[in-house]
Chains A and B, each alone.
Chain A
Amino acid sequence: MINQICEKINARVLAGANQSHREVKGVYICDLLSWVMSHAKKDDVWITVMSHANVVAVASLLDLGCIIVPEDIQMDQDALIKAEEEGIPILSTSMNAYDIAVELNKLGLGK
């Protein structure tokens, strides 16, 4: 599933490449970590512009499916290391959050 997403949004895998067959279900877009904490669901794709390691902690605690960083935002190195450790895929694309969501919708996510 992560494979299909990468193809659809022309994304690079920055971390968690060994999780490429992981199934994801919904999509959640937000940058306020507490808000994500209380609203994102297990197996969601999470789109966020936040680039520090705590993003990975949130994704891991909630069992999110993957993190997508839009608009070619650079992730902090320690975030990528942590994502490898926790097995959380991080994808990067030049598309913005809205365009990513449109493409994920076409893949049937969140339906």
Chain B
Amino acid sequence: MDVMQYNFNVEKDDFDRAGEASSNIKKILRQLGIDAAIIRRIAIATYEAEINIVIHSLGGEIDLEVDPSSIKIIARDKGPGIANIELAMQAGYSTASDKVREMGFGAGMGLPNMKKCSDKFEVESELGKGTTISMIMFI
């Protein structure tokens, strides 16, 4: 199997389409015959990353890269960046607005969920520039 790459655009505040990128990624992985337990972990991680871009960022994209030994997800956004990554990683900590919380988002579980589902997990963020989350799951 060669390395396969896909890219999905995610708009800020687009709650109607939020989840579409994750859904497409899940369908691709299913077609590739990836193990169901791994697909579940990736579905959870990409959904959290996608929702974070919708809620917190100015827009972004998600890259999917599949090679014979691993699946790599990179969620990249255009800012505003995370002021304190250590705090953001704490379960229950969230800067989401009341409006977003009323929809059931903003539980402060996004980043911890992503980390839990990944074999390798990395957050890089620069204030005013943006955030990049890299996740690798071994097949």
A-to-B contact residues, CB < 8 Å: 31-35, 37-38, 42, 48, 50, 52-55, 57-58, 60-63, 78, 86
| 16 A-B pairs whose Cβ atoms sit less than 8 Å apart in the complex | A32-B104, A34-B105, A34-B107, A34-B109, A34-B110, A35-B109, A38-B44, A38-B113, A42-B40, A50-B104, A52-B103, A54-B15, A57-B19, A58-B47, A60-B23, A62-B40
* A33 contacts B23, C-beta separation under 8 Å: no
B-to-A contact residues, CB < 8 Å: 15-16, 18-20, 22-23, 26, 40, 43-44, 47-48, 51, 103-105, 107-110, 113, 116
Give the Cβ gap from B106 to chain A, nearest Cβ, in Å.
Answer: 8
Q: A32-B109, A54-B103 are in contact. Are A37 and B44 (CB under 8 A)?
A: yes
* B109 contacts A54, C-beta separation under 8 Å: no
Extra pairs beyond A33-B104, A34-B113 (10, CB < 8 Å): A32-B104, A32-B109, A34-B107, A35-B107, A35-B109, A52-B103, A58-B19, A62-B43, A62-B44, A86-B23
With A and B bound together, what is the CA distance between A86 and B22 in angstroms? 13
A53 cross-chain contacts in B, Cβ below 8 A: 15-16
Per DSSP, chain A at the interface is helix
With A and B bound together, what is the CA distance between A35 and B26 in angstroms? 19
A35 cross-chain contacts in B, Cβ below 8 A: 107, 109
A42 cross-chain contacts in B, Cβ below 8 A: 40
With A and B bound together, what is the CA distance between A52 and B20 in angstroms? 14
B40 cross-chain contacts in A, Cβ below 8 A: 42, 62-63
Q: A32-B109, A54-B19 are in contact. Are A61 and B104 (CB under 8 A)?
A: no
- Out of B22, B113, B116, name the residue touching A57 (CB < 8 Å): B22
